[in-house]
């Protein structure tokens, strides 16, 4: 298989890595807290996930929950989603992506409308 074919085969994964690299660059080098909020002025459903990951790295479960409760869904689902994608299980990948989108949106709306979470407030 040629390099061009391999790139075409994994173009979605390559795009995700590039987007993640841009996010890391904006977050740490340029010190933009949230690229979506920086560009649009509106928090996104994934707002607080970076803080939740860092809190989990410190084993601070309460801080992770406060930053974004969806992290406790995403941690176990992410490896399953990656494996399903790499094995080309398109049906499972699509189902997991739709469920993940639903979880993120549901948590976002709950935090926005019920909790009035300070994570989602404007800077």
Averages of pLDDT over runs of 10 residues in the chain (123 residues) are 73 76 67 68 76 88 88 90 84 89 87 71 52
The reported pLDDT for the residue numbered 72 is: 92
What pLDDT is stored for residue 123 in this prediction? 47
Residue 117 CA: distances (Å) to CA of 8, 29, 50, 58, 88: 41, 27, 16, 22, 38
- Give the SS3 label for residue 123: coil
> pTM of this prediction?
0.63
């Amino acid at each position: 298989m040629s390099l061009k074919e391999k790139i075409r085969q994994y173009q979605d994964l390559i795009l995700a890595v590039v987007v993640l690299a841009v996010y890391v660059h904006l977050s740490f080098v340029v010190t933009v807290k949230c690229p979506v909020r920086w560009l649009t002025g509106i928090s996104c459903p994934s707002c607080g996930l970076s803080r939740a990951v860092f809190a989990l790295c410190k084993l601070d479960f309460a801080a992770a929950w406060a930053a974004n409760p969806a992290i406790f869904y995403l941690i176990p689902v992410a490896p399953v989603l990656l494996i399903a994608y790499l094995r080309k299980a398109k049906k499972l990948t699509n189902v997991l992506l739709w469920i993940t989108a639903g979880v993120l949106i549901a948590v976002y709306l709950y935090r926005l409308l019920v909790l009035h979470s300070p994570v989602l407030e404007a800077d």
